[in-house]
Structure 1
């Protein structure tokens, strides 16, 4: 068999890249050269994030895109290469801690899957399929969507495994999706919007961390100098409208954007045979699995550590006989393999954010925005949200964005005359915008890990762009309305 020619493998042969990415990249290069020629300085944070997104659209691996764009942005800011590399390395440790937690969560999720609970759920849904000619199976489609929404919400608040459930639950259901001709971009939006909405509104699990320990704590810490004090009860109320925007975006994706059927090839990996009985789930195994979930949640809340919770849950399942004691290494390795790419990207994304901070150009970017706003509240709310969206796309993590934005956004919002509730909504939404659409976000990475199990779902085109355009645009509009109405 003849090997493919080198020209055929270049990115410039890709229709999407030629039609969309190259013109945008060319326009950006032209703007950059023009600003340099007239002596203007492009903000290094803006430059780094645009480069990162462009490289991802060119199908450069996300990890390489993060490192390359961070270093180029640092050099543009005047930061020496050695200092940029030091900033990158110093912050990798923080990301590595989070990455190890995700690996442990992955191992716990695989252990739960070994109980047969996930197989039973997948077969229950598949067995309801009517394979006769002309059957629409609309009820199964909505049952599938409801299952994914429920699992997404529980993964943030009740069973804190975050996105680790997606590579476990979704691949067995791909065959059902193929038979129903469901557009997987709609599923990516369902997963991303449901996960985002749950931790932004419900104050338990990850929601308790974001709403109380990060958002509330930072607003009060910065607001103390401005006589601003907010309570825990105010935060979910302030975030209600922005979350409704996310849900509206999800409905638009399901009922309008990706409503039409889309065909995929059914391969052996996703061919779920409805006539074969699933793995027999014994009553004792079911109780043990539920107990492991409960204890993992209790440990996570007691010790404020997902790592400890997932580890304890894993050990309970190992000791109970859900899988053989001798298979512990295999189960753990499978979890590592499943979450390895996500853990690596999270680690590098932390270094990326460290380099952006080292350039000292985040504050000037926000300050320039403040100067542009003047006394216009409507324009101020819009620009604060857009800048927050831009910064969070680069960081890929709303939790890390709040401490960066709070020292500037809280005084700015109060000086413009926004109420405490509106201030919470602006900061909470600005830091969360982009989380569901960043190439380095755990949410989009998790969606791709599950939906691309058969290599028919592209990370950028089918996860990042759909979730960005639906979750973020809806949230931006509703968050702006919240700031003006609250």
Structure 2
């Protein structure tokens, strides 16, 4: 039995059965480690040491949650949301509601794409932007599963096809991974050979837009504990300045932690609010996002155990030995292995170096063209980022959409994004591997 396969399957099955994701990650890591013959004491040590790698992102999530709560407390988004709701009630036309729905979906899609390149803040915008507009989405009866697909699309599609921002990091990782095994490729060769695989994201998004077009009812729940807000001009200016400060500092320091701290401090130093009220809202926001941070910590521990088993190599070599000479099955198997590994690790960026060291020599031995190998590596790395319970590309959308407790991480984010993004990309990646 392969330890990686067992670990990922156990984790996914337990998650689908609605066992807490943190427990599913730990049990999956334990199962994989035992199958690999690692003593239980060592598994616990490896898991614990791996947690350290996720400390920064966990703290980032917590502080962004607190900052998002302060934004909601300021009332800046509520003013905007109430304005639109009043306009819709006044208009009372089907056309107005459709335009509003399209505008929200389009705006969120643009924001998600921009977060990967133009303003590379990654998931930082989600807990700030999404919770305050949930009431508007409820009024329009928008299915949050569609929004989860839209956000995850915006967080994954750009780095596959656009060689800027996080895309530059992802594609440069592919180039570096090839160089590690003695194969030189140009950075400019990566994006063109990922056009076909990336088209799967677009196809899946279009299908999801039609599939989730029906209305879905949600209860409007007050997220902020403070019912009455001071929405004066000075308060709105304070909120706007805090948002600008957060994004500016994050881009300058490349740290979500210090970006969130900058925005939080502007609220406290503005003296527009009582500190005891801000403190209460900050704590509520941190609590809202703390669970997501804990999941990321557990995911890092899980990834460390998977890497330590060394069974990724044996999995690929075993497949190659059984299917030697059968190009169709080899290409499909390489992509499925990438899907499994990324689903477990939760990061496409971390998956590339692992699979490239095995897939590049194998591809050359099988006499695949270099464009085909690049397409397979890029697709195998990107697969699983959407749909993984441990990926920030799914945890981010859940953090925003579940602010009022009405959006399930597994069934409302991971399952829809897996079906509508991973499966089409798996198909287009296979096509690219066969025809390039």
Task: Provide TM-score, normalisation by structure 1.
Answer: 0.79
| 8 Å Cα contact 2:62/2:293 also seen in 1 | yes
| 8 Å Cα contact 1:295/1:313 also seen in 2 | no
RMSD between aligned residues = 3.1
> What does residue 144 of structure 1 align with?
104
Kindly indicate whether residue 410 of structure 2 is the aligned counterpart of residue 437 of structure 1.
no
Q: CA separation of 1:347/1:67 partners in 2, compared to 1, >3 Å: closer, same or farther?
A: same
| 8 Å Cα contact 2:64/2:128 also seen in 1 | no
| 8 Å Cα contact 1:167/1:338 also seen in 2 | no
Kindly indicate whether residue 215 of structure 2 is the aligned counterpart of residue 261 of structure 1.
yes
> What does residue 461 of structure 1 align with?
411
| 8 Å Cα contact 2:124/2:256 also seen in 1 | no
**For 1:251, which of 175, 181, 206 is the aligned residue?**
206
> What does residue 236 of structure 1 align with?
191
> What does residue 355 of structure 1 align with?
305
Q: CA separation of 1:262/1:115 partners in 2, compared to 1, >3 Å: closer, same or farther?
A: closer
Q: CA separation of 1:370/1:262 partners in 2, compared to 1, >3 Å: closer, same or farther?
A: same
What does the per-residue CA deviation read over 1:338-374, in whole Å, with 9 as the maximum and x for residues that have no partner?
3211111111111111111222211101111222342
Q: CA separation of 1:199/1:112 partners in 2, compared to 1, >3 Å: closer, same or farther?
A: farther
Deviation at 1:116, TM superposition (A): 5.5
What does the per-residue CA deviation read over 1:59-115, in whole Å, with 9 as the maximum and x for residues that have no partner?
110001110121122122221111111111121111223322333444555566666
| 8 Å Cα contact 1:104/1:310 also seen in 2 | yes
| 8 Å Cα contact 1:175/1:266 also seen in 2 | yes
Tell me how far apart the structure 1 counterparts of residues 366 and 147 of structure 2 sit (CA, whole Å): 40
Tell me how far apart the structure 2 counterparts of residues 290 and 107 of structure 1 sit (CA, whole Å): 13
> What does residue 15 of structure 1 align with?
none
Tell me how far apart the structure 1 counterparts of residues 233 and 162 of structure 2 sit (CA, whole Å): 32
Which secondary structure does the structure 2 equivalent of 1:93 belong to? helix
Kindly indicate whether residue 245 of structure 2 is the aligned counterpart of residue 292 of structure 1.
yes
Deviation at 1:480, TM superposition (A): 1.9
**Bigger shift: 130-139 or 161-170?**
130-139
> What does residue 52 of structure 2 align with?
93
Q: CA separation of 1:374/1:131 partners in 2, compared to 1, >3 Å: closer, same or farther?
A: farther
**Bigger shift: 318-327 or 378-387?**
318-327
**For 2:22, which of 35, 51, 63 is the aligned residue?**
63
**For 2:293, which of 343, 355, 378 is the aligned residue?**
343
Deviation at 1:130, TM superposition (A): 4.0
> What does residue 203 of structure 1 align with?
163
Deviation at 1:408, TM superposition (A): 0.5
| 8 Å Cα contact 2:68/2:127 also seen in 1 | no
| 8 Å Cα contact 1:239/1:429 also seen in 2 | yes
Q: CA separation of 1:381/1:351 partners in 2, compared to 1, >3 Å: closer, same or farther?
A: same
Tell me how far apart the structure 1 counterparts of residues 130 and 277 of structure 2 sit (CA, whole Å): 23
1:31-430 alignment, distance < 5 Å: 42-107=1-66, 109=68, 118-130=77-89, 135-136=94-95, 137-212=97-172, 214-222=173-181, 225-226=182-183, 228-231=184-187, 233-255=188-210, 257-269=211-223, 279-281=231-233, 285=238, 288-289=241-242, 291-293=244-246, 295-300=248-253, 304-312=254-262, 315=265, 333-430=283-380
| 8 Å Cα contact 1:109/1:161 also seen in 2 | no
Tell me how far apart the structure 2 counterparts of residues 267 and 103 of structure 1 sit (CA, whole Å): 21
| 8 Å Cα contact 1:70/1:352 also seen in 2 | yes
| 8 Å Cα contact 1:197/1:246 also seen in 2 | yes
Which secondary structure does the structure 1 equivalent of 2:81 belong to? helix
Which secondary structure does the structure 2 equivalent of 1:437 belong to? coil
Q: CA separation of 1:294/1:462 partners in 2, compared to 1, >3 Å: closer, same or farther?
A: closer
Tell me how far apart the structure 2 counterparts of residues 468 and 46 of structure 1 sit (CA, whole Å): 18
**Bigger shift: 192-201 or 140-149?**
192-201
| 8 Å Cα contact 1:63/1:348 also seen in 2 | yes
Tell me how far apart the structure 2 counterparts of residues 359 and 177 of structure 1 sit (CA, whole Å): 45
Deviation at 1:252, TM superposition (A): 0.3
Deviation at 1:375, TM superposition (A): 3.2
Deviation at 1:317, TM superposition (A): 6.4
Q: How many residues align?
A: 432
Q: CA separation of 1:197/1:124 partners in 2, compared to 1, >3 Å: closer, same or farther?
A: farther
**Bigger shift: 423-432 or 50-59?**
423-432
| 8 Å Cα contact 1:439/1:464 also seen in 2 | yes
Which secondary structure does the structure 1 equivalent of 2:38 belong to? coil
> What does residue 423 of structure 2 align with?
473
Deviation at 1:48, TM superposition (A): 1.2
